[in-house]
Amino acid sequence: MSSKVSIVTDSTNCLPPEILEQYGIRVLPVGLVIEGKLYLDCVNITLEEVCSRLDSLEKQPTTAAVSPGDFFNVFTELADSTDNIVCILVSKALTATQESAYQARRLVRSHHPNLNIEIIDSKTSAGALGFIVAEVARAAEEGKGIREVVGVARDMISRVVYLAALDTLKYLINIGRAPRVTNIGELLKVKPIIGFVDDTGLLEVVARVRGRNKSLAKLVDLVENYIDTELPTHVMVHYADGLETAEELKGMLESRYRCSEILLTPYSPVMIAATGPMVGISFYS
């Protein structure tokens, strides 16, 4: 039995496929229901399909948590090669996915009593979740034990930040995931910038602007509120159907901050179905 810690996450992590493959990170797809049909995030529906269909749908798609059965299958499979699993998931404020993982852990333990499964609330999403997962996977690859790996996760959770400029809040409101705000009606008239910026795991509106160019500039300005600008900064820029916008944002960030790495990654289909069009950044120093 290998002592290496295995890493599990969900499909909202926004990590490039090569990183997932390099570290053997197992990814479970979140569900997306469109006109009564269940799709699996990044498995049998693409980001392009969601972007092209979103405006024409009579009813906004809904999301579905990863099922306990999916977690059970992956945990059981990994039990054949390891005694230790760290499962890092999207903020539990957004989905019941974590509860599914806990249910699966209870079932798996009856078959594999020596299997350690740590389930961690990342309190975030997108590349902020991805950065946590990647650092944890690197720690596992280096041979660190499960306690040390969990420690890396806790440290990263306190450092990563996710921000996104939305075209509108209406999609989040429709699915009951509106961020904490004082006047939603007012925010429907502007482009809100939302994010996970503290340890609550709750989406918050951190700024409001009018116009695309102002929203990009505001995203760049906000970064310095959450990092040590003297340190190298790790960044992911996320896009839906506007790669050109993401490239522009990437250039703005590179000219302003000491970026030791800056990746361009697409959102997953389920994320855009939940929020509508947006561009976002995940980062830490």
Q: Is residue 100 pLDDT above 80, yes or no? A: yes
CATH code for the domain defined by 161-284:
3.30.1180.10
d(CA 166, CA 206): 12
Confidence of residue 191 (pLDDT cuts 50, 70, 90): confident
d(CA 139, CA 275): 33
CATH code for the domain defined by 6-30+65-157:
3.40.50.10440
Tokens of 275: 């929020």
Confidence of residue 148 (pLDDT cuts 50, 70, 90): very high
CATH 3.30.1180.10 segments of the chain: 161-284
Which tens digit of pLDDT belongs to each residue from 263-280? Answer: 999 999 999 999 988 999
CA distances to 88, 146, 265, 269 from 12, rounded to whole Å, are 11, 23, 11, 9
d(CA 227, CA 225): 6
What H or E segment, with its residue span, contains residue 62?
strand 62-64
CATH 3.40.50.10440 segments of the chain: 6-30+65-157
Tokens of 126: 């997108």
Q: Is residue 54 pLDDT above 70, yes or no? A: yes
Confidence of residue 168 (pLDDT cuts 50, 70, 90): confident
Confidence of residue 1 (pLDDT cuts 50, 70, 90): low
Which tens digit of pLDDT belongs to each residue from 205-236? Answer: 899 888 777 999 999 999 999 999 999 999 99
